[in-house]
């Protein structure tokens, strides 16, 4: 019996095209809750970046790819887990950027900053309808805030990503849900870790979980949950490891999968 369902946001619950949640998905989420099934967000975003979930209520939030987790207790959020990036990796990054500069953003629990914003960065953020982060001096910022940094976004191709992870960010791991950048988090973290933190808190067994996703940062979660669902618009490497592949986000993929597994009745 499924007692907890975890949803990625972008490309899963929320369409990249409309930037909205479908009416059937909203209705399905409300029906899950009415049946006593807990619903959770599992996102690469930070909590302060949540701006597209409308007025839907969730039982908890796995944020920053599992590095910051919250429980919703009677409308008040309680933080139950947080892990920052390795200090040595961050100082190694400073040294590397002084020699070979590329766009990189830093995410803490409360804000996001970037080392510089070129035309590509400006275009990406404009397309995503997100404000360009404040530009800061990375050397100074990292020195003063290294213990608060939970994630990096490195705006590089896959070959450069592999080099950075092997030579610069050795105590971290990367995941990619968009071709233009990769998320970097503490090694051994991930949305799957977030699931464990959440279900431990609620006393739910892993065999009673389901997870939905579409991008590279959802792979660990989809493999980990008892039932892992890939969206029809998911990357091929995500579909390969999923237990079930549903329709696209723009064709009510979330609702159709919940209907397939007899979790909703309409």
- Please tell me the predicted confidence (pLDDT) of residue 22: 97
Q: What angle do CA 121, 124, 127 make, to 5 degrees?
A: 145
Residue holding tokens 């909203």? 26
How sure is the predictor about 131, in pLDDT bands with cuts at 50, 70 and 90? Answer: confident
What's the full length of the chain, in residues? 266
Mean pLDDT of 20-46: 97
Give the span between the Cα atoms of 29 and 14, in whole angstroms.
13
Cα R_g (the chain), whole angstroms: 18
φ/ψ (deg, to 5) at 205? -85, 150
Give the span between the Cα atoms of 127 and 16, in whole angstroms.
10
The CB density around residue 126, as the number of other CB atoms within 10 Å, is 11
The CB density around residue 235, as the number of other CB atoms within 10 Å, is 19
Give the span between the Cα atoms of 106 and 167, in whole angstroms.
19
φ/ψ (deg, to 5) at 71? -115, 140
- DSSP-based three-state secondary structure for 152: strand
- Each residue's pLDDT tens digit, 189-240: 999 999 999 999 999 999 999 999 999 999 999 999 999 999 999 999 999 9
pLDDT of 176 higher than 80: yes
Using CB atoms within 10 A of its CB, is residue 184 exposed (0-12), middle (13-18) or buried (19+)? Answer: buried
Across 79-93, 114-128, 240-254, least confident range: 114-128
Give the span between the Cα atoms of 227 and 207, in whole angstroms.
8
- Each residue's pLDDT tens digit, 35-68: 999 999 999 999 998 988 998 999 999 999 999 9
C-alpha distance across the termini of the chain, in Å: 19
More confident residue, 155 or 128: 155
- DSSP-based three-state secondary structure for 80: strand
Q: How many CA atoms lie within 13 A of 23 on its CB side?
A: 1
Alpha carbon 63 to chain centroid distance?
6
Give the span between the Cα atoms of 50 and 60, in whole angstroms.
13
Under 8 Å between Cβ of 115 and 101:
yes
């Amino acid at each position: 019996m499924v007692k907890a369902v975890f949803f990625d946001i972008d490309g899963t619950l929320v369409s990249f095209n409309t930037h909205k949640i479908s009416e059937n998905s909203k209705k399905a989420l409300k029906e899950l809750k009415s049946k006593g099934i807990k619903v959770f967000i599992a996102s690469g975003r930070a909590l302060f970046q949540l701006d597209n979930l409308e007025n839907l209520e969730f039982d908890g939030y796995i944020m920053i790819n599992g590095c910051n987790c919250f429980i919703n207790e009677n409308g008040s959020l309680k933080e139950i887990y947080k892990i920052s990036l390795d200090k040595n990796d961050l100082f190694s990054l400073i040294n590397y950027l002084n020699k070979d500069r590329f766009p990189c953003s830093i995410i803490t629990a409360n804000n996001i900053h970037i080392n510089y914003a070129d035309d590509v960065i400006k275009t990406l953020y404009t397309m995503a309808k997100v404000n360009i982060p404040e530009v800061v001096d990375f050397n100074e910022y990292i020195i003063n805030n290294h213990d608060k940094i939970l994630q990096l976004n490195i705006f590089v191709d896959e070959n450069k990503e592999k080099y950075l992870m092997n030579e610069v960010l050795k105590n971290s791991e990367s995941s990619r849900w968009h071709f233009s950048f990769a998320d970097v988090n503490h090694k051994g973290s991930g949305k799957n870790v977030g699931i464990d933190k959440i279900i431990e808190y609620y006393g739910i067994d892993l065999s009673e979980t389901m997870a939905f996703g579409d991008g590279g940062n959802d792979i660990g979660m989809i493999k980990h949950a008892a039932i892992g669902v890939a969206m029809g618009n998911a990357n091929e490497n995500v579909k390969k490891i999923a237990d079930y592949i549903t329709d696209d986000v723009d064709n009510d993929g979330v609702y159709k999968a919940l209907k397939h597994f007899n979790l909703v009745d309409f």
